[in-house]
Amino acid sequence: MSHAVQAAAPPSVPDERIARRSPLARLLARPETGSLAGAVVIYVFFYAVAPPFRGLDALATILYASSTIGIPAVAVALLMIGGEFDLSAGVAVTSASLVASMLSFQLTMNVWVGVALALLLALGVGALNGYLVMKTGIPSFLVTLATFLMLQGLNLAITKLITGTVASPDISDMDGFGSAQKIFAAEWDVGGLSLRISVLWWLLFTAIATWTLLRTRVGNWIFAVGGAQSSARAVGVPVRRVKIGLFMTVGFLAWFTGMNLLFSFNSIQSGEGVGNEFLYIIAAVIGGCLLTGGYGSAVGAATGAFIFGMTTQGIVYAGWNPDWFKFFLGAMLLGATLLNLWVRRRTEAAR
């Protein structure tokens, strides 16, 4: 045991062992790489087999379909990186739009009032989910399964109670509809292409989530609470606040998606949204999020949603029976999961 403390050599001197990690290896280690490669393969595939798929108008349609899954999937991905699930996200979208439309309609108020109250409700459901999970320690899978069922029941029962039907009333002639539609569901004609604003929102939310994850303190905390909750707590990360915040983010983007649907279609079916929560989770997992938390990316979730959009539309453009869609979705999920498993084994075991 030598007493001599070595003088600090300049740390910039490269270690000869660093060189082995090539830029390619670094790229492969990123969570979204697998899904990006998958997206390219699927794009090329449909480009080859389905001529209508090649047009820009088809791309615009695909992007819109992707955005309706992609917006909530961004929040779901953040939540999964934080180590939790939210099964209530799919019906929460419908709940938000039902609340916004029916409140405005029944009280004959400006639709913005309903929109604001729906936001409060969506954030409240998120906060409740998060609070219950953190307070009781019950897995979020169970807690949000319960809220999922309760919301689904409320959606159907209250809509029937108020309107006597299974759909919310048409609110397209109400005050504030025009301005709300401009924000949530605008559609522009760009050189003959129909471009939807939700695509831009999707890209913006993905960018914000990516910045937050990789460049902010909160992002660091999200990875930490998902990767090792007790360790995070031990070094002073406010675990409860981070997780409740993540559940509320899911609530926020579910609300946003709900508003997009409401102001696109003017009226909402109360039974909608069931099953979509799995699409969000699938998009996040295809995008490289680990089910166990602590690993994943928002860009990956966006790519996962894009793969989803391409496949749904591509099957139609190729003239195939859409019954095959779920099979493809399942196969992709399995492939993505195997890839993720392989990546994690490499990451955790490599010396």
Partner 1 sequence: MSDTMTEAPLVRLTDCEKRYGTIIALTGVSLEVHAGEVTCVLGDNGAGKSTLIKVIAGMHHCDAGVYEVEGERVRFASPREALERGIATVYQDLAVVSLMPVWRNFFLGSEVRKGVGPLSRLDIRFMRETTRTELHNMGIDLRDVDQPIGTLSGGERQCVAIARAVYFGAKVLILDEPTAALGVKQAGVVLRYIMRAKERGLGVVFITHNPHHAYPVGDRFLILNRGRPLGDFARDEITRERLTALMAGGEELEQLSHELEGAAATDTALGRVAEEFEHEVAELSIRKTPPEPPA
Contact residues toward partner 1 (CB under 8 A) are 1-3, 5-6, 8-9, 11, 15, 17-18, 21, 211, 215-217, 219-220, 223-224, 227-228, 230-232, 234-237, 294-295, 344, 347-351
Q: 226 vs 309, which CB is nearer to partner 1?
A: 226
Provide, rounded to whole angstroms, the least separation between the CB of residue 3 and partner 1.
5
Give me the least distance between CB of 23 and partner 1, in Å please: 13
| Cβ 246 to partner 1 shortest distance, Å | 16
Closer CB to partner 1, 10 or 322, in the complex = 10
Tell how far CA 56 is from the center of its chain: 25
Pick 142 or 240: Cβ nearer partner 1:
240
Half-sphere exposure (Cβ direction) of 156: Cα atoms closer than 13 Å: 9
With respect to partner 1, which residue has the nearer C-beta, 173 or 348? 348
Cα R_g (the chain), whole angstroms: 22
CA distance 103 to 114: 5
Cβ distance to partner 1 smaller for residue 107 or 208: 208
- Rounded Cα distance between 132 and 171, Å, is 35
Give the shortest CB-219-to-partner 1 separation in angstroms.
8
Smallest separation (angstroms) from partner 1 to the CB of 72: 23
b vs e for 91-113, b when ≥16 Cβ sit within 10 Å of the residue's Cβ? bbbbbbbbbbbbbbbeeeebbbe
Phi first, then psi: what are they for 14, rounded to 5°? -70, 140
- Closer by beta carbon to partner 1, 227 or else 271: 227
Burial of 281 (0-12, 13-18, 19+ CB in 10 A): buried
> Residue 112 contacts by C-beta under 8 Å, 6 or more apart in sequence?
176, 179, 180
Residue 1 CB partners (closer than 8 Å, separation 6+) = none
CB of 27 to partner 1, least distance (A): 13
